[in-house]
Amino acid sequence: MLRAGETICAPATGSGGAIAVIRVSGPLSISICEKIFFPSEFRIRLSEQKGYSIVYGEIRHSDEIIDDVLVSIFRAPHSYTGEDAIEISCHASRYVQQKILELLINNGAVPANPGEFTQRAFLNGKMDLSQAEAVADLIASESQMAHRIAINQMRGSFSDEIRILRADLLHFASLIELELDFGEEDVEFADRTQLIQLVDKVLSVTRGLISSFGLGNAVKYGVPVAIVGNPNTGKSTLLNLLLREEKAIVSDIPGTTRDAIEDTVVINGIQYRFTDTAGLRDTGDIIETLGIKKTHEKIETAAIIILVADINEGSGALDEALRRLRNKAEGRNKKLIIAVNKTDIELQGKRIEITSVVKPEQDETLMFISAKTGEGIEELKLRLGEVMDQERLASENVIISNIRHYEALSQVTDSLVRVREGLESGVPEDLIAIDIRQAIHYLGEITGEITNDEILGNIFRNFCIGK
Ligand SMILES: Nc1nc2c(ncn2[C@@H]2O[C@H](COP(=O)(O)OP(=O)(O)OP(=O)(O)O)[C@@H](O)[C@H]2O)c(=O)[nH]1
Ligand SMILES: [Mg+2]
């Protein structure tokens, strides 16, 4: 997998646009490019240029001019990868790009693997592993919040936090191991109470990070929101309104929606994944029954549920729907928004009746909307943001969104819980030291201080080519 001596090349830009960038990195970058690139100022030699300079000229193959290009020169270690590197800005024709890559390869470069530029940056110490992962997250980010989490991680705030924890634990380990060295003499260098305090401090940080994962993960992939309710209450109308698109079929026939219909939209900086579902009722229709089964599955996986009710069906129907939903969501940390719909055709007194009978519990909100006129929709959107803990997202707190980090932090926490128990119940130092070492190991895996080909392979395989 490691082939640091090679010079790699790949297109760095996606399809579309007028200009494309081809990236070259490795010890022979400049000399390979010199063979195919001819500066318009003929006295200029690429190999004599300083880093961060740009040269204008032609890419040629024998006598054939392939393109007018700009060549940017980077000198090790001042490049993304830390190696000598070249970026060729050419026109975005697929033919031109292919031709330039061919020329580069014929002159000694090799095609880059997915993520190989970033992997080299990691191996050359330009960034740690969690920062490298954040690069991929940044490229994939589609909302302000996903962007914020990625950029914080890329700038190293998460890595810093992990490194502090690791340093704390290394200090702890050294105290314990010192005692081990003096094993026979029964000395205690480390004050137990202080050790317990240190473990508690680290534990509170790792637990905080772990608990941010649900939020971080939802923000990264779109917060799953299930729109559920009785047939004909206006679920599909609401979906279309939120997506600003006629995505789902709307009709006055109960049981119109049979399959779960899903799409994402960014509202106030957060991406949501809304799923419109088949209305819940007993039916003999086989297809509809399958749809209703899907609705139940969506309720399971949603972070937020919007229960849509028809205002004119009154509190009885709503209470019944609510009771069933609460039973189903019992014990799971789901937020519920009760959206009483069709306020535009409210029969007199219905709103008052519903408000006086239906009592939202904790994590539930009752609101009145019209999916037809848009009344109350802004409030609904705001409420979605509040439910998503927007303040916490906007704060400087580190939020993790990467399952690999989550799993490593869970291991750290498990090890530290054992350490704490061990300290309290007087377990021998050598056993405690093992758990401490394990916690340190897993923290090191996050930043890449400890790594192996398998971990690296898993991470960089998911990158695109050219990154
Ligand atoms: N007046 C009024 N009619 C609405 C409103 N929302 C939906 N409707 C109408 O109610 C009927 C049912 O709407 P749908 O959006 O298809 O309802 P649904 O909940 O998706 O229905 P199923 O898919 O059958 O479960 C349609 O005729 C809509 O035009 C509203 O806010 N006001
Ligand atoms: Mg529908």
The answer to whether 239 and 272 have CB atoms below 8 angstroms apart is no
Percent of the chain at pLDDT above 70? Answer: 97
DSSP string, 66-89: EEEEEEEEE-TTSSSSSS-EEEEE
- Is it the case that residue 235 has pLDDT exceeding 90? yes
Average pLDDT for residues 180-205, to the nearest whole number? 78
Q: How many angstroms does the Cα of residue 236 sit away from the middle of ligand 1?
A: 7
Nearest ligand to the CA of 231 is 1
Sheet with 261-267: strands ordered across: 261-267, 270-276, 223-229, 304-310, 335-341, 364-368
The response to whether residue 251 sits with its C-beta less than 6 Å from ligand 1 reads yes
- The share of the chain scoring above pLDDT 90, in percent, equals 71
Pair 199, 415: CB distance under 8 Å: no
Average pLDDT, stretch 426-454? 91
Identify which of 13, 142, 17, 158 has the alpha carbon closest to the alpha carbon of residue 88. 13
Each residue's pLDDT tens digit, 78-111: 999 999 999 999 999 999 999 999 999 999 999 9
Q: Is residue 174's pLDDT more than 70?
A: yes
Ligand nearest to the CA of 306: 1
Pocket lining: 342 vs ligand 1, CB cutoff 6 Å: yes
CA of 260 to the centre of ligand 2 (A): 9
240 lines ligand 1 (CB under 6 A): no
Cα→Cα distances 145→152, 156, 163, 271, 335, Å: 11, 17, 24, 8, 20
User: pLDDT band at 186, cuts 50/70/90?
Assistant: low
* Residue whose CA is at the smallest distance from ligand 1 atom 8: 234
242 alpha carbon, closest ligand: 1
Q: What is the pLDDT of residues 112-160, one digit of tens each?
A: 999 999 999 999 999 999 999 999 999 999 999 999 999 999 999 999 9
- Phi first, then psi: give them for residue 338, nearest 5 degrees: -95, 110
Contact 387, 204 (CB under 8 A): no
